[in-house]
């Protein structure tokens, strides 16, 4: 394993359990770069993972204190943990299903409260761990294991959800934007508040097979590349393109949740001590 992995990861979990051609490991590599370049040590960061490919394949890799929550609940656990340990950086690694489907409620309220966590929502546009059913972020019309005639529901972008709820840093990148992702995750870590980084990446085994017709890792990554730019290598427009970059930056503009509670206590206790 390389130097960054040696510094931060458990050797038993390198290489990861992810499929060949899955970018979960690449993304985790960029997270390590961001953590390293931010000057953070192993004991400064608490990792939390969800359930699903993203949670499962990242879970147990981090060498420091970490937790794996039940499906969709990493943000709820992190809210309580942050109140008890406000001095730690909490990084949550969750998938599109974990964060925006079953976990949507906690996502919204953690953003509203401005809980000081950095949520890395890695989006492979489906419930891939259970075989490739569609999710709230699957592009409309695409064929998946549970939309054999094409996905008929409208999809949404969880970035819009958290911005509306009050998140203080929101950004989106894809699996071909490595340096941008490292830079953005560093900004996310620097925000003492709710940071949401949304990263689109390919699923070679399920999405690739059902929706794209290929399990070739290079083909799947090129599909991501094309939809990041909005056009193919031949100059053809793609059916849709993602809007990437920093979508909302109000970093450090309003107090973080555990600080709000502590300030309340200071105020209440001062009133109690004040002479009548």
Partner 1 sequence: MGGRAIPLFKAEKTQVTKNVGIWDVELAEDDCKACGFCSNICPVDVFASREVPNRLGWFSVYVKHEQNCFGCMLCFQICPDFCIDVTAKTRPAAKPGKEKIS
Partner 2 sequence: MTLTEGLVAPWAEWQETYQDGQRLLEAGTYALTEGAVAAGLGVFAGYPITPATDIAEYMSKRLPQIDGFYLQAEDELAGMHMCAGASLGGQKVMTATSGPGFTLMHDAYGWAIVNEIPVVVVDAMRVGPVSGITGAPGQGEFYVSRYCSHGGNIETIVLSPNSVQETFWLTIDAFNLAERFRTVVTVLTDQVISDMSEDLFLPGDYGDLADIVVPRRHNLEMPFFPGNNSDIDLAPNVIGEGTGVCVSPYTHTEEGYDIEDMEAQWAQTFRLINKIRHHKEEILRYEAIGLEDAEVVAVAYGATSRTVKTAVEEARRQGVKAGFLRLISLWPFPDELLEMDLLYLVCELNYDGQLVREVMRAAPDKKKVHFMGKSGEMHTVAEVCEALQSVNKDQKMPEQPFIWTEVR
Interface ranges with partner 1 (CB under 8 A): 1-5, 9, 14-16, 18, 20-26, 29-30, 176, 178-179, 217-218, 221-222, 225, 229, 231-235, 237
Burial of residue 60 (CB within 10 Å: 0-12, 13-18, 19+) is: middle
* Least distance to partner 1, CB of residue 91, Å: 17
Helix/strand/coil for 235: coil
CB-wise, 26 or 251, nearer to partner 1?
26
Sign of CA dihedral 142, 144, 150, 152: negative
Segment 38 to 57, residues that bind partner 2, using CB under 8 A: 42-43, 46, 51
Q: Which does 30 bind (CB under 5 to 8 A by kind): partner 1, partner 2, none?
A: partner 1
**HEC secondary structure over 39-107:** CCCHHHEEEEECCCHHHHHHCCCECCCEEECCCCCHHHHHHHHHHHCCCCEEEEEEEHHHHHCCCHHHH
Q: Which range, of 63-71, 186-194, 215-223, 233-241, touches partner 2 by CB under 8 A?
A: 63-71
Beta bridge partners of 195: 118, 169
Sketch the per residue contact string, 8 through 27, with partner 2: x for CB under 8 A, - otherwise.
--------------------
- Interface with partner 2 by CB under 8 A: which residues? 42-43, 46, 51, 59-60, 63-70, 73, 76-85, 87-88, 105-106, 108-109, 258, 261, 264-265, 268-269, 272
């Amino acid at each position: 394993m390389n130097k960054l992995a040696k510094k931060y990861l458990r050797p038993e979990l390198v290489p990861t359990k992810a499929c060949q051609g899955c970018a979960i490991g690449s993304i985790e590599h960029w997270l390590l770069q961001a953590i390293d370049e931010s000057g953070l040590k192993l004991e400064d960061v608490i990792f939390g993972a969800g359930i699903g490919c993203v949670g499962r394949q990242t879970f147990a890799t981090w060498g420091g204190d970490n937790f794996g929550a039940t499906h969709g609940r990493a943000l709820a656990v992190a809210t309580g943990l942050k109140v008890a340990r406000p001095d730690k950086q909490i990084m949550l690694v969750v998938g599109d299903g974990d964060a925006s489907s079953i976990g949507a409620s906690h996502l919204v309220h953690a953003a509203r409260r401005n809980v000081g966590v950095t949520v890395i929502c890695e989006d492979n546009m489906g419930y891939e761990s259970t075989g490739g059913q569609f999710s709230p972020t699957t592009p409309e019309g695409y064929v998946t294991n549970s939309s054999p005639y094409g996905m008929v529901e409208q999809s949404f972008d969880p970035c819009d959800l958290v911005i509306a709820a009050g998140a203080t840093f929101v950004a989106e990148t894809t699996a071909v934007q490595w340096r941008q992702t490292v830079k953005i995750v560093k900004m996310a870590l620097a925000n003492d508040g709710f940071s949401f980084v949304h990263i689109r990446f390919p699923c070679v085994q399920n999405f690739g097979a059902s929706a794209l017709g290929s399990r070739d890792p290079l083909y799947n990554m090129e599909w991501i590349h094309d939809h990041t730019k909005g056009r193919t290598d031949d100059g053809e427009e793609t059916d849709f393109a993602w809007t990437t970059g920093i979508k909302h930056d109000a970093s450090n503009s309003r107090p973080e949740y555990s600080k709000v509670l502590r300030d309340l206590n200071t105020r209440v206790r001062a009133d109690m001590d004040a002479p009548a």
